[in-house]
Amino acid sequence: MSTYHTVFGSLDNYEKGHIEIINDKPRNFAFSNIFEVAEKSKPYEMVVVGKNLENVIEAVRAEGESAWFTASHDEFALAMDGEIEIHFHKAVGDEIAPEEVEGTQIVGHAPKGPKMGHVVLRRGHQAILPKGSVYQYRARKLGVIMLQTLLGANSVQKWSEICYV
């Protein structure tokens, strides 16, 4: 029986995946690495690295402070590297995302609703970004967020740049 060793990557130490289990051509599969994608991305650019219908997994480079975001649905953030604070306010007025608009939306101004609190995520920690909130990421040092959301206007798809062909 083969022995496998799982290595948890980081921005400083990652290896791009490859096919081991099946006998097929790499061009038939999409391979990307969220650390490699984040390393080459702009701060808080939401690059799609996985897609199932309208559901997406996005790699996000956490660096400095982000804009304020909201969504018409719950989202899920997992810190893959670094330390990221997420500050929450209740969405009010124009901060409330319309139900028919999917994906992460940029609010465009500081939130007007009351503070709801904040969380600090370190590698492996996760948080729900609840519907009805406005949130902002703050990273003291470079980090990576894996974001589960719905495909939206701010989702960046650049498959030819991030996948084996």
The reported pLDDT for the residue numbered 11 is: 79
CA-CA distance, 163 to 72, in Å (whole number)? 30
Nearest to 141 by CA among 129, 157, 123: 123
pTM score: 0.83
Nearest to 97 by CA among 86, 89, 106: 106
Give me the residues of the chain with pLDDT under 50, please: none
Q: What is the DSSP secondary-structure string of 154-165? A: TEE--HHHHS--
The reported pLDDT for the residue numbered 105 is: 97
The reported pLDDT for the residue numbered 34 is: 87
Which domains does the chain show, CATH number per domain? 45-153 (2.60.120.10)
The reported pLDDT for the residue numbered 3 is: 73
